Structure 1
Amino acid sequence: MSKVMTPYHQRIAHEKRALILEAATALFLELGYDRTSLARIAERSGVSRATLFKQFPSKAALFDAMVTESWSTADEEEPPPAGNIVDGLSTIGRRYADLLSRPQMTDLFRIVIAELPRFPELANAQFSRGKTPYFESVRGYLLAEHEAGTVRVDDVDLAATQFLGMISNYIFWPTLLVPDWEVGAERVAQVVDEAVRTIAARYAATGRGSSTND
């Protein structure tokens, strides 16, 4: 008979999981993925080895969890409904900018880049468990808009890449090379708005970026 966790024990387990992931990220950045053991992570996070191994039986499983949580949205929002390309892309763009602004996202990419020559599986995990699912959600939204007749997009993969790239190339990627790179809230909003206008101008069926019913 399985034991059902009480709300209290669920909260404790969640808090310990967060401590483990935080310690693992810090140690991966400090010592490297190879030199960081699960035992050292348990010590740094202040949990027992048994507790850590119960949640993460391997270092690979722990890294997979880091990727999944870094790419997850705050409340797992659904894609916006099709019908207005400007409103929909504005919502997606703001979500993406918020996601890229998380410190753990920068940390994750730094770990992957540093360890890529010796541990290509980390990049594979980052791509398959993080970036690809997120990209597919944006691709799915653009496809829904295309099917609704709001936009005409022959290559949704390219359109999704164009939109996300315009945002990440200004907000995120410079942070990996310029430690003091900061983008204020007003600038972030401007970057997102310009990306939306560009995609709407290029693909909107009406030429206005709004619903075909307008």
Structure 2
Amino acid sequence: MKALVFAAALGAFALPASAALETVHFTEYSVTFDNSTVLGGISFNSGGSGGSLGFGWTLSTSLVANDATIEFALPSFTLTANSGYTLSGDLSGFIGNLGYTEIGNGESGAWLAGAVSIDGSPLLPFYELLDRTEQLGGPQARSGYYSLGGSAPLGSFSSLVVSGLTLTLSASANAVVSSVGQGRLEVGFVAAPVPEPETYTLMLAGLGLISLATRRRMAR
């Protein structure tokens, strides 16, 4: 899985107030997102071992380019840890399962652009070409899919802002790109409970006892 690539910092960022914002609350985290895009509301969320969590959207089958270049706005969103929890990475992202078909000299392409801010850090823009996987190739017809996955080892964080996310599809005559009912945009991370103050006290007391026992053994 490739690392997420970001460009130079441009300044601090938050979602624009004019966006059609909706907030969904889960046990460990909340997501505020722009629901005015073609993808609408969050389509799924997931959980796994070790506190691994995720959420995302299903890409509509209407995402098709034929003899055109079309830019689709994807949801801008803010991910925040709920009270009593902390988030951590590797933070992962995936967009894909976008099928393509090219006949004769038809050509196609797909790319993703946007910007990211972690815990109020400066805005970091990114631009990525989607990876192309060819399943059927030949002089007369080619088909396969576009996808892009990446991760970033962020350590502990409390908020993530993703803004201006766009998917651009390009297809010449005799070429088509679509989600074929399998397209997904998803984000993954880990959430863990924040230890209560009593837990820290007990931990420090335990370390103190271990240190005392060690010193006594060394003094004998």
Q: Determine if the TM-score, normalized by the shorter chain, exceeds 0.5.
A: no
Q: Counting strand residues as a fraction of each chain, which structure ranks higher?
A: 2
Q: Which structure exhibits the higher relative contact order, with contacts defined as CA atoms closer than 8 Å and separated by 6 or more residues?
A: 2
Give the TM-score normalised by structure 1. 0.30
Give the TM-score normalised by structure 2. 0.30
Task: Select the structure of larger CA radius of gyration.
Answer: 2
